[in-house]
Structure 1
Amino acid sequence: LWKRTEQKRIPLSAEIELTERCNNNCVHCYINLAANDEEARKRELSFREIRDIVDETVQMGCLWWLITGGEPLVREDFADIYLYLKKKGLLTSVFTNATLITPELVSLFKKYPPRELEITVYGITQKTYERITRTPGSFEAFMKGINLLQKENVPFTLKAMALRSNVGELEAIKDFYKPISKGPFRFDPFLHLRLRPNGKRNRQIRNERLSPDEIVAIELGDEERKNGLLKQICEEKKIGQGTAHFNDDNHLFYCGAGRTSFTIDPYGFFKLCSSLSHPDCVYDLRRGSLREAWEKFVPQVRAMRTEDEECRKKCLNCPLINLCMWCPATAYLECGKLDQYIEDFCQIAHARADALANIE
């Protein structure tokens, strides 16, 4: 059924970044703007525009919607948007930092439960948490939000970013997570650079990145993460070492972006995924339609090819590509080119492969 859905190119899943604004100022964030940024607020899609987009996705067969940001709860019309999605029958998830959770929002989530309510935790001490958020009082607000949800038995999942600033607390975060969160613990060691180039912020993000050995050590210590990577290794062995993934046709996009899913940014720009910001890979929905974006624009983007020999040899035809953080979107963020080889990512992929080989 899933394969037939892919073949028919039905847009089953949509992600909308309601805003880039956030009440925190996290050191590692690739997108955030100040919560009171009026220029950004005025450019954001209106509730009416969002409703029109939602209606079109439903007509095209969409089932899942993810609401994210920035911090989506900074929008005064968040509840209206969320309720509209739910009443359309869409399976709706929300990503939030929980610091703006109120009793009213808890009541909303209790009456109309999200498919997934996913909350990011940066530390379990005020010092660590606010070293990352750079917002005084944010740890207390986070704990208050968590407690409000727990009190009313609204289920949620916690996830963590693995940063230089909190690596010493990751195990403690995991222990904190177990008794209060549903589902497996999730963490992400990969930090995107800024969507809009910013030298100072990018240096801060790079300084928060862990080394390949640190990333692998954390991953091997997490049973679910380790098993997932082992599964990828097994799949690569079935393909065969040294086998080209694309039969030398030099296509750039090997991932699932744009097959059954897409992203809409706060300003109405359609993208295959949230990370893909190259100007040739975004479509302005305010000047067109979602159907045109999906049926005409997406195939054009996915057909993009490279003539860069280093990229073809070291990335696209690499047997470790599914263990690697490289993709055209991240290459563009790192270097300004969709087809640029990234040495740091290559090191992580090989460190993963070496460590997993020793387990087998």
Structure 2
Amino acid sequence: MEKEFEPACRRMEWLDPFYKAVWEKAFAEGIPISGTFELTPRCNFNCKMCYVHLKEKDIPKYGKELSAKEWLRIAEEAKEAGTTWLCITGGEPLMHPEFPEIWKGLSEMGFFLTLQTNASMITGEIQTLLEQYPPRQVKITLYGSNDEVYEAVCGVKKGFTRVNDGIHTLMSMGIPVTLVSTIIRQNAEDAEKMAFYAYVHRLPWDSTIGVRPSLRGADLDLNDVRFSEKLEENRKKNMEKRISKSSFLDPEKKPCTYCKDYRLGYWILWDGTVSFCSFLNESGISVRNVPFQKSWKLLLEYEETLEWPEECQTCEAAKICERCAERVRNRKSSVDGQESFCEQTKRLYKEICKE
């Protein structure tokens, strides 16, 4: 069935033409070409802005981790369905009790693997494992340029020292490394030094100030970490840019159509829940005791049933709102007295109109 809107991959100008053609075909035919396996909510760090991390004793309250046998069964079925790219993440994925077995199995299946890690555990058995079964790339979360900042952000001693050692180990192995950072109040003054660290090591670096609320039980205080003022400033600039360029959202398009994983990508959370977004974990679809192909079909149907709330259909700021399926899910809620997403959008829109 031909779609009336363009897939996100068509707007990725940096994408190699061959891969762009592959992704376009996947979109047209609804092939799950790209997946993310969130192996565990465990982590050896306790980052203030993390929406996933759970203490080991709290995991049973929220679900049961998939075993290595279950992950590999899912991977086999996903491969048969067309999955080529896999990102392995967590929590800290290396903390999964059966990580070596999972990684070896996925590697032998021939996936293009990306490992997302804090890099503090790239030693011993893990180092040997990655030497034998190297990933296509490793995406490392960098949260400071020294141990003091890491302790403030991640609550651990010698965090930067361990991460820095892990980065150099991976580089010495010839494995491509990319750095990503979340900037919060506790590491904001160190952001330039993080950028310089990436520059000196000639590593790609991306940063964000976006922090989402935790809906999975993680201990996250948005008021403590979020740059509310900077986020509002950025939102207002983006809205003004949309107006100046007449680049408006189409209220007729469904929420999922703005997501790069729409019709060709998926997330499997640590408890077996299937979604197209790490922030949306309420699809009601599980792959634990269901064949992957069936779960994927249900996910495609779920994406098509999602609609914008009625309030979005009549909102005066609808065309310049930065909404997405996840953001509008709790559109009327606020955190400890802060404005809700919708309240802030309407206020900023009125300010722009006055100006």
SS at match of 1:300: helix
- In structure 2, list runs of 5 or more residues that go unmatched: 1-20
Q: CA RMSD in A?
A: 3.5
Once the two structures are overlaid, the 10-residue window that deviates more, 167-176 or 70-79, is 70-79
Contact kept? 1:21, 1:40, Cα under 8 Å: no
Alpha-carbon distance in 2 for matches of 1:68, 1:236: 39
Instruction: Note the 1:102-251 alignment, pairs <5 A.
Output: 102-183=123-204, 185-196=205-216, 201-202=219-220, 204-213=221-230, 237=245, 240=246, 245-247=250-252, 251=254
> Quick one: structure 1 residues 177 and 286, their matched pair in 2 at CA, closer, same or farther if it must change by over 3 Å?
same
Matching of residue 85 in structure 1 with residue 102 in structure 2: no
Identity level (%): 25
SS at match of 1:254: helix
Matching of residue 267 in structure 1 with residue 241 in structure 2: no
- Matching residue within 299, 302, 310 for 2:304: 302
Alpha-carbon distance in 1 for matches of 2:328, 2:224: 18
Give, in angstroms, the shift of residue 302 of structure 1.
2.7
Give, in angstroms, the shift of residue 266 of structure 1.
1.0
Alpha-carbon distance in 1 for matches of 2:272, 2:244: 38
Once the two structures are overlaid, the 10-residue window that deviates more, 18-27 or 134-143, is 134-143
Provide the residue aligned with 2:257 in structure 1: 254
Give, in angstroms, the shift of residue 96 of structure 1.
0.4
User: How many aligned residue pairs are there?
Assistant: 324
> Quick one: structure 1 residues 288 and 131, their matched pair in 2 at CA, closer, same or farther if it must change by over 3 Å?
same
- Counterpart residue type for residue 140 of structure 2: I
- Counterpart residue type for residue 29 of structure 1: C
SS at match of 2:125: helix
**When the two structures are superposed, what TM-score results if normalisation uses the length of structure 1?**
0.78
Contact kept? 1:12, 1:260, Cα under 8 Å: yes
Provide the residue aligned with 1:28 in structure 2: 49
Provide the residue aligned with 1:288 in structure 2: 290
Contact kept? 2:62, 2:217, Cα under 8 Å: no
> Quick one: structure 1 residues 314 and 162, their matched pair in 2 at CA, closer, same or farther if it must change by over 3 Å?
farther
Alpha-carbon distance in 2 for matches of 1:205, 1:295: 35
Provide the residue aligned with 2:72 in structure 1: 51
| Deviation sequence 1:158-177 (CA, Å, 0-9, x none) | 11111111111101100011
- In structure 1, list runs of 5 or more residues that go unmatched: 220-225, 355-360
- Matching residue within 10, 14, 20 for 2:35: 14
Alpha-carbon distance in 1 for matches of 2:149, 2:346: 28
Give, in angstroms, the shift of residue 56 of structure 1.
0.7
Contact kept? 2:53, 2:91, Cα under 8 Å: yes
| Deviation sequence 1:23-56 (CA, Å, 0-9, x none) | 1111111110125767479921111111110011
Alpha-carbon distance in 1 for matches of 2:111, 2:262: 19
Matching of residue 331 in structure 1 with residue 328 in structure 2: yes
> Quick one: structure 1 residues 147 and 283, their matched pair in 2 at CA, closer, same or farther if it must change by over 3 Å?
same
Contact kept? 2:117, 2:139, Cα under 8 Å: yes
